Structure 1
Amino acid sequence: MNALRIAIAGAGGRMGRMLVEATLKDAHATLAAAIDQPGAAVLGKDAGEMVGAPCGVAISSDSDAGIAQASCLIDFTRPEGTLQHLESCRRHGTAIVIGTTGFDAVGKKAIAAAAQDIPVVFAPNMSVGVNVVFKLLDVAARILNEGYDVEVVEAHHRQKVDAPSGTALRMGEVVAHALGRDLGDCAIYGRQGVTGERLPSTIGFATVRGGDIVGDHDVLFCGLGERVEIGHRASSRMPYALGSLRAAHFLSRVKHGLFDMQDVLGLR
């Protein structure tokens, strides 16, 4: 089996370093390129040295050249940067795994358009465990479809710039779809003052930002006399990295199309 050639965007960041480590430990993958933005302090350094395993791949700001050397790019950066990388992947026929969150409707449309030419995995959370939770939420919502109020609570580190998290929003979408609702019509993203009684058709979201919390997510189905909670706790970013590599290997078997982790894990 030929090793999958992986390029990593944002290689000097917290998630990027975890992706570098996971790639170097994957017996069926090789680190083809490590990319970071112009002016980043890590430029020119051996990507493997960041994780104690020098590999001879220097971190570069030339994203186009790095993408051209790879069979798959893994990107957990920011929407504007990811969309630029997406176009480069499209030109070079390079697959892409997108873990970036916070895209607007225009960005999501661009991702779908690129997927007509290249294979794309675009998911709000690459963790295998979180994607199992998505499946459990679908089952729970279909059973607890009457008499239960749904609330989504998420917590992340202080540096996270978007809220609610992409994972929390996806949890809400899964529940809303199972209940035959449109999340855009029933979501409540904040409560303050005299709000009146809770409408039973709504799905509430609460956001916590602080410290170095990697990612906590809980969905509460609150009924009369009982509460069902389905949640996930991440103690490190490694599950996201391992899931991303699993997605990259999945894309090596397809020519084009838009997929998510439910496809990767066979949970459809």
Structure 2
Amino acid sequence: MDQPVILITGALTGIGRATALAFADSGARIVVSGRREAEGKALEAELRERGAEAVFIAADVRHDDSVRNLVDGAVARFGRIDAAVNNAGTEGAPGAIVDQSAASYAATFDTNVLGTLLSMKHELRVMQAQGSGSIVNVSSTYGHEGAAFASVYAGSKHAVEGMTKSAALEVASLGVRVNAVAPGPTDTGMLERFTGTAERRAALASKVPLGRLGTPGDIARAIVFVASDAASFMTGQIVTVDGGKTAG
């Protein structure tokens, strides 16, 4: 399809924003979503300036009705959804396990896990009816590793990867693919909040074999590939994009 329709949650900053720009440059029609109206409208305008048909629809992925309205709004606008990128996420409250609470757990899992589940639920409702589609969930290398002082976040990303594989098996016979991209250390606001200082960021970058942090654009380009027909025989996979950090 010359102008596929792409839906992106958590599109207003970081990896989600870079992914929207990358799809715009590829000629796609784009629905971007997030919770902040002003920033969403600004991104919509920027995408249109790049020549893309684009629309912002506000949504909170923690709420079923909000996600239903997002997906239905995308279909009402463009008639279909060819690919969806489920990027909405939060680092929660990093810290020792003994300092976690039911509230910090819920705040992280409601966005990262429930939000991904609800997004797939409604995206698959549309894609199954179409008989085609591609979903890319955004995980983390912490989704298949341990992470001291980030146990709740890591646990949520383990859940995302498990759901990705399970959903892929459910819908493979229906012509729909489900994969995940797992970024390593990437230069985003979330990483700044995780590390706290420039020294810690530099120390983290020094552990990456390629010698630098990833950029949102690095991750976006991987997402565009995994979502595309170029990856048509790929489903149920977790694609790690981490500069070699987990290779050894």
TM-score if structure 1 supplies the norm length? 0.53
Does 1:18 find its partner at 2:12? no
In the TM superposition, residue 237 of structure 1 has moved relative to its aligned partner by 1.4
Judge conservation of contact 2:181–2:223 (CA < 8 Å) in 1.
Answer: no
Judge conservation of contact 1:216–1:232 (CA < 8 Å) in 2.
Answer: no
* Residue 159 to residue 261, structure 1, CA distance change in 2 (3 Å): closer
Percentage identity across paired residues of the two chains: 13
In the TM superposition, residue 261 of structure 1 has moved relative to its aligned partner by 2.6
* Residue 242 to residue 216, structure 1, CA distance change in 2 (3 Å): farther
Does 1:112 find its partner at 2:165? yes
- Cα deviation, 1:166-203, whole Å, max 9, x if unaligned, reads xxxxxxxxxxxxxxxxxxxxxxxxxxxxxxxxxxxxxx
SS at match of 1:70: coil
Does 1:65 find its partner at 2:43? no
**2:46: which partner in 1?**
49
In the TM superposition, residue 48 of structure 1 has moved relative to its aligned partner by 4.5
**2:104: which partner in 1?**
none
**2:93: which partner in 1?**
none
Judge conservation of contact 2:139–2:160 (CA < 8 Å) in 1.
Answer: no
SS at match of 2:2: coil
Judge conservation of contact 1:97–1:121 (CA < 8 Å) in 2.
Answer: yes
Answer with 1 or 2: which has the greater Rg. Answer: 1
* Residue 53 to residue 234, structure 1, CA distance change in 2 (3 Å): same
Q: Which of residues 210, 228, 231 in structure 1 aligns to 2:197?
A: 210
| Cα distance in structure 2, aligned partners of 1:92 and 1:250 | 18
In the TM superposition, residue 71 of structure 1 has moved relative to its aligned partner by 0.6
Alignment of 1:26-45 (within 5 A): 26=26, 29-37=27-35, 39-45=36-42
Judge conservation of contact 1:10–1:77 (CA < 8 Å) in 2.
Answer: yes
Alignment of 1:1-268 (within 5 A): 2-26=2-26, 29-37=27-35, 39-45=36-42, 47-49=44-46, 52-53=49-50, 55-61=52-58, 62-65=69-72, 68=75, 69-78=80-89, 79=112, 80-93=114-127, 94-101=133-140, 102=153, 103=156, 105-116=158-169, 117=171, 118-125=176-183, 159-160=190-191, 208-210=195-197, 216-217=204-205, 219=207, 230-234=209-213, 236-250=215-229, 253-254=232-233, 257-261=235-239
* Residue 120 to residue 95, structure 1, CA distance change in 2 (3 Å): same
- Count of aligned pairs: 178
In the TM superposition, residue 24 of structure 1 has moved relative to its aligned partner by 1.5
- Cα deviation, 1:103-132, whole Å, max 9, x if unaligned, reads 25544433222112131121312xxxx7xx
| Cα distance in structure 2, aligned partners of 1:43 and 1:98 | 20
* Residue 106 to residue 158, structure 1, CA distance change in 2 (3 Å): closer
Judge conservation of contact 2:84–2:135 (CA < 8 Å) in 1.
Answer: yes
SS at match of 1:258: coil
In the TM superposition, residue 156 of structure 1 has moved relative to its aligned partner by 5.7
Judge conservation of contact 2:136–2:179 (CA < 8 Å) in 1.
Answer: yes
Cα root mean square deviation, aligned: 3.7
* Residue 45 to residue 214, structure 1, CA distance change in 2 (3 Å): farther
SS at match of 1:81: helix
* Residue 233 to residue 112, structure 1, CA distance change in 2 (3 Å): same
More strand by share: 1
